[in-house]
Amino acid sequence: MRLYALLAFTALVAVISLAGCSEQVMARPAPIDAWGETGKEPGKLFQPTGIAVSKEGTVFVADTGNDRIEAFDASGKFLWTFGRSGEGPGEFRRPMDIDIDRNGPLYVAELGGDRVQVFTQRGELVRIIRGEGASAGSIDGAAGASVSPEDEVYVADFYNDRVVVFNFEGNYQRVIGVSGRVLPGRLHYPTDLAWIDGRLIVADAYNNRIQVFTPDGEPVSRWGGYLGSGIPGSSPGSFRVATGVATDSAGHIYVADFENHRVQVFDDEGELLSVFGSQGGGVGEFERPTDLDMGPDGRIFVVDSGNDRIQVFEDFRKVGQ
Amino acid sequence: MKNKNMAISIALGLVLGLSAIPTRAEMRAAELRVNGMTCPFCVFGIEKKLRHVSGVNEVEVFLDEGRIRLVFSAENTATVREIENAVEDAGFELSGLSVDVEGTLVEDDGAMVLQAGEASRYRLIERNAGSVQPLSPEAKRRLRAKAAGGKVLVSGEVHSHSDDAPALLVERVEPVKDGRP
B128-176 pLDDT tens trace: 888 999 999 999 999 999 999 899 999 999 997 555 789 999 999 999 9
Question: CA-CA distance, A196 to A253, in Å (whole number)?
Answer: 8
Helices (H), chain B: 2-20, 40-51, 80-89, 137-147
A107-111, A252-256, B24-28, B150-154: which has the minimum mean pLDDT? B24-28
Question: CA-CA distance, B118 to A48, in Å (whole number)?
Answer: 42
> What does the pLDDT read at residue A103?
86
Chain B positions in Cβ-Cβ contact with residue A65 (cut-off 8 Å): 40
- Residue with the larger pLDDT of the pair A25 and B39: B39
CA distance A235 to chain B (A): 21
> What does the pLDDT read at residue B21?
34
pLDDT tens digit string along A4-45?
Answer: 555 555 555 444 444 444 445 689 999 999 999 999 999 999
> What does the pLDDT read at residue A52?
98
CA distance B65 to chain A (A): 14
Question: CA-CA distance, B168 to A138, in Å (whole number)?
Answer: 38
Chain A positions in Cβ-Cβ contact with residue B91 (cut-off 8 Å): 189
CA distance B89 to chain A (A): 9
Percent of chain A with pLDDT over 90: 86
Q: How confident is the model at residue B57 (pLDDT cuts 50, 70, 90)?
A: very high
Nearest neighbour of A64 by CB, restricted to B44, B89, B91:
B44
- Residue with the larger pLDDT of the pair B65 and A145: A145
Asked if the model's pLDDT at residue A288 lies above 80, the reply is: yes
- Residue with the larger pLDDT of the pair A150 and A3: A150
pLDDT tens digit string along A168-200?
Answer: 999 999 999 999 999 999 999 999 999 999 999
Q: How confident is the model at residue B178 (pLDDT cuts 50, 70, 90)?
A: low
Asked if the model's pLDDT at residue A312 lies above 50, the reply is: yes
Helix, strand and coil in chain A, % to nearest 5: 15, 40, 45
Question: CA-CA distance, B51 to B70, in Å (whole number)?
Answer: 9
Nearest neighbour of B44 by CB, restricted to A112, A241, A259:
A112
Question: CA-CA distance, B125 to B158, in Å (whole number)?
Answer: 10
Asked if B41 lies within 8 A of A259 by C-beta distance, the reply is: no
Helices (H), chain A: 2-19
Question: B82 φ, ψ to 5°?
Answer: -60, -45
Question: CA-CA distance, B140 to A46, in Å (whole number)?
Answer: 47
Q: What is the mean pLDDT of residues B41-66?
A: 92
Q: How confident is the model at residue B71 (pLDDT cuts 50, 70, 90)?
A: very high
Q: Of the segments A13-27, A259-273, B20-34, B103-117, which one has the largest average pLDDT value?
A: A259-273
Among candidate residues B82, B164, B154, B100, the one with its CA nearest the CA of residue B125: B154
CA distance B41 to chain A (A): 8
Chain centroid offset of residue B34 CA: 19
Asked if the model's pLDDT at residue A278 lies above 90, the reply is: yes
Asked if the model's pLDDT at residue B25 lies above 70, the reply is: no
> What does the pLDDT read at residue B19?
35
Average pLDDT of the residues of chain A: 92
Complex ipTM more than 0.85, yes or no: no
Q: Does A239 touch chain B (CB under 8 A)?
A: no
Asked if B41 lies within 8 A of A64 by C-beta distance, the reply is: no
- For residue A26, give Cα distances in angstroms to A34, A59, A131, A273: 23, 28, 44, 7
pLDDT tens digit string along A106-157?
Answer: 999 999 999 999 999 999 999 999 976 556 678 999 999 999 999 999 999 9
Asked if B44 lies within 8 A of A288 by C-beta distance, the reply is: no
Chain B stretch 70-89, residues whose beta carbon is closer than 8 A to a beta carbon of chain A? 89
- Residue with the larger pLDDT of the pair B12 and B111: B111
Asked if the model's pLDDT at residue A1 lies above 50, the reply is: no
Asked if the model's pLDDT at residue B75 lies above 80, the reply is: no
- Residue with the larger pLDDT of the pair A29 and B5: A29
Asked if the model's pLDDT at residue B36 lies above 90, the reply is: no
Q: What is the mean pLDDT of residues B69-87?
A: 91
> What does the pLDDT read at residue A133?
52
Chain A positions in Cβ-Cβ contact with residue B90 (cut-off 8 Å): 159
pLDDT tens digit string along A64-89?
Answer: 999 999 999 999 999 999 999 999 99
Asked if A158 lies within 8 A of B41 by C-beta distance, the reply is: yes
- Residue with the larger pLDDT of the pair A221 and B179: A221
Question: Helix, strand or coil for residue A167?
Answer: coil
